[in-house]
Chain A
Amino acid sequence: MWSYLVKRLIQMPLVLLVVTITIFLIIRFTPGDPVQIMLGMQTSPEAEAALRAEFRLDQPWHMQYLLWVGDLLQGDFGRSIRMNTPVLQLLADRLPISLALALSAMIFAVVVSIPLGLIAALKRNTWIDYLATGYTLFGFAVPNFALAMILIYVFSITLSWFPITGIGSGASTAPGLWGVVQPYVLPAVALGTLQTAIFTRLLRSSMIDVLGQDYMRTANAKGLQPLTILLVHALKNAMIPFVTMLAIQFGYLIGIQVTIEHIFAIPGMGSAILSAVVNRDFPVIQGFVLVIAAFFMLANIIADILYGIIDPRIRY
Chain B
Amino acid sequence: MAFHDASTPVAVEPNYDSGFRMAMRQLLRNKAAAAGLFCLLLIVFLAVFAPWIIPYDPTQIALSSKLHGPSWEHWLGTDHFGRDVLARMAHGARVSLSVGLSTVAFAAAFGVPIGLLSGYVGGRLDNVLMRLMDAFLTFPPLLLGVAIVGLLGADLTTVTLALGIVQIPVLARVVRSATLVVREETYITATRALGAGSWRLVFQHVLRNILSPLVVQITIVFSAAIVAEASLSFLGLGVQPPTPSWGRDLAEARRFMVDAPWMFLAPTGFIIVSVMAINFMGDSLRDSLDPRSWVRRAVTSRETPRASADR
Task: Give me the interface of A with B, judged by CB distance under 8 Å.
Answer: 11, 14-16, 18-19, 22-23, 26-27, 30-32, 125, 133, 137-138, 140-143, 145-146, 149-150, 152-153, 157, 194, 198, 201-202, 204-205, 208, 245, 252, 254-256, 258-259, 262-263, 270, 273-274, 277-278, 280, 285, 289, 292-293, 296-297
Provide the residues of chain B in CB contact with A15, threshold 8 Å. 131, 134-135, 138
- Please report the C-alpha to C-alpha distance between residue A289 and residue B139 in the assembled complex, in whole angstroms: 8
Tell yes or no: B215 within 8 A of A by CB.
Answer: no
From B134, B151, B254, B305, A277 is in contact (CB under 8 Å) with B151
Task: Give me the interface of B with A, judged by CB distance under 8 Å.
Answer: 131-132, 134-136, 138-143, 146-148, 150-153, 223, 227, 230-231, 234-235, 250, 253-254, 257-258, 261, 264, 267-268, 271-272, 275-276, 279-280, 303, 305-306, 308, 310-311
Complex contact B276–A141 (CB within 8 A): yes
- Please report the C-alpha to C-alpha distance between residue A26 and residue B158 in the assembled complex, in whole angstroms: 12
From A133, A146, A153, A273, B250 is in contact (CB under 8 Å) with A146
Complex contact A145–B308 (CB within 8 A): no
Chain B facing A: main interface SS: helix
From B136, B151, B254, B303, A30 is in contact (CB under 8 Å) with B151
Complex contact A145–B311 (CB within 8 A): no
CB nearest to A125 among chain B residues: B303
From A18, A150, A153, A252, B135 is in contact (CB under 8 Å) with A18
Complex contact A137–B279 (CB within 8 A): yes
CB distance from A157 to the nearest CB of B (A): 6
CB nearest to A150 among chain B residues: B268
CB distance from B43 to the nearest CB of A (A): 13
CB nearest to B135 among chain A residues: A18
Listed by A's residue number, 22 A-B pairs whose Cβ atoms lie within 8 Å are A19-B138, A22-B139, A30-B152, A32-B151, A137-B280, A141-B276, A143-B271, A157-B257, A201-B308, A201-B310, A245-B310, A255-B141, A256-B142, A258-B146, A258-B231, A263-B254, A273-B147, A274-B146, A277-B150, A285-B147, A292-B140, A293-B138
Interchain residue pairs A-B with the least CB separation, the first 5: A255-B140, A277-B150, A30-B151, A18-B135, A141-B276
Specify which of A143, A146, A204 lies most central, judged by the most chain B CB atoms within 10 Å of its CB.
A146
Chain A facing B: main interface SS: helix
Specify which of A145, A194, A262 lies most central, judged by the most chain B CB atoms within 10 Å of its CB.
A145
Complex contact B264–A149 (CB within 8 A): yes
Provide the residues of chain B in CB contact with A252, threshold 8 Å. 140
Complex contact B135–A259 (CB within 8 A): no
- Please report the C-alpha to C-alpha distance between residue A23 and residue B135 in the assembled complex, in whole angstroms: 12
CB nearest to B277 among chain A residues: A141
Provide the residues of chain B in CB contact with A22, threshold 8 Å. 135-136, 139
Provide the residues of chain B in CB contact with A202, threshold 8 Å. 308, 310
CB distance from A42 to the nearest CB of B (A): 25
- Please report the C-alpha to C-alpha distance between residue A251 and residue B142 in the assembled complex, in whole angstroms: 14
- Please report the C-alpha to C-alpha distance between residue A207 and residue B234 in the assembled complex, in whole angstroms: 38
CB nearest to B230 among chain A residues: A143
Complex contact A198–B264 (CB within 8 A): no
- Please report the C-alpha to C-alpha distance between residue A15 and residue B169 in the assembled complex, in whole angstroms: 14
